[in-house]
A and B are shown apart, each in its own frame.
Chain A
Amino acid sequence: MKVLIHAKAAISLICFILVVSQLAGCASAAKSTAMMAEDVEVKHRHPYSVLVQVSGGHDTGALDATQISNEAFMEALVDSIETSKLFAEIKEEGDADYLLHVTLLDLEQPTFGASMKVSMEAAWVLIDRGNGETIWRKGISSQYTAGAFDAFAGVTRIRLATEGAARINIKMGLGVLSNLDL
Chain B
Amino acid sequence: MRSQYKILAIILSLLLLGGCAVNRATSQIMPGTDLDVLNKFYVVKFIPDGRGINKLISNRLNEMGHPATTGPESMAPEGIDVIVTYKDKWMWDITMYMIELTITFREPGTDYPLAEGNSYHTSLTRKSPEEMVDEILTNIFSGNTDTQ
Closest A-chain residue to B145, C-beta based? A55
Q: Which chain A residues lie closer than 8 Å to B50 at the CB level?
A: none
Q: Could you list some 29 contacts between A and B, CB below 8 A?
A: A7-B1, A8-B1, A11-B5, A11-B8, A15-B7, A15-B8, A15-B11, A18-B15, A22-B15, A55-B28, A56-B28, A61-B22, A62-B18, A63-B18, A103-B31, A103-B113, A105-B28, A106-B87, A106-B104, A106-B116, A106-B118, A123-B30, A123-B112, A125-B30, A134-B31, A137-B30, A137-B32, A137-B112, A139-B110
- Whether A127 sits at the interface, judged by CB under 8 Å, is yes
Q: Mark A74-101, 1 if CB is under 8 A from B, else 0.
A: 0000000000000000000000000001
Q: Are A139 and B113 in contact (CB under 8 A)?
A: yes
- The residue among A14, A105, A134 with the most chain B CB atoms within 10 A of its own CB is A105
- The residue among A63, A106, A139 with the most chain B CB atoms within 10 A of its own CB is A139
- Whether B102 sits at the interface, judged by CB under 8 Å, is yes
Closest A-chain residue to B118, C-beta based? A106
Q: Are A121 and B113 in contact (CB under 8 A)?
A: yes
- Chain B residues 11 to 39 lying within 8 A of chain A, measured CB to CB, are 11-12, 14-15, 18-19, 22, 26, 28, 30-32
- Whether A180 sits at the interface, judged by CB under 8 Å, is no
- Chain A residues 2 to 42 lying within 8 A of chain B, measured CB to CB, are 4, 7-8, 11-12, 14-15, 18-19, 22
Give the CA-CA distance A8 to B4 in the complex, in Å: 8
Distance in Å: Cβ of B61 to nearest Cβ of chain A:
20
- Whether B111 sits at the interface, judged by CB under 8 Å, is yes
Given known contacts A11-B8, A19-B11, A138-B112, is B32 in contact with A125 (CB within 8 Å)? yes
Residues of A in contact with B, size category: 20 to 34
The main secondary structure of chain B at its interface with chain A is mixed
- The residue among A7, A55, A56 with the most chain B CB atoms within 10 A of its own CB is A56
Closest B-chain residue to A105, C-beta based? B116
Further 20 A-B residue pairs, CB within 8 A, beyond A15-B4, A103-B28, A137-B30: A8-B1, A11-B4, A11-B5, A11-B8, A12-B4, A14-B8, A15-B7, A15-B8, A18-B11, A18-B12, A22-B14, A58-B26, A106-B87, A106-B104, A106-B118, A121-B113, A123-B113, A125-B32, A139-B110, A139-B113
Closest B-chain residue to A4, C-beta based? B1
- Chain B residues 104 to 133 lying within 8 A of chain A, measured CB to CB, are 104, 106, 110-113, 116, 118
Given known contacts A18-B15, A105-B113, A125-B30, is B22 in contact with A63 (CB within 8 Å)? yes
Distance in Å: Cβ of A140 to nearest Cβ of chain B:
10
Give the CA-CA distance A61 to B22 in the complex, in Å: 10
Q: Which chain B residues lie closer than 8 Å to A105 at the CB level?
A: 28, 104, 113, 116
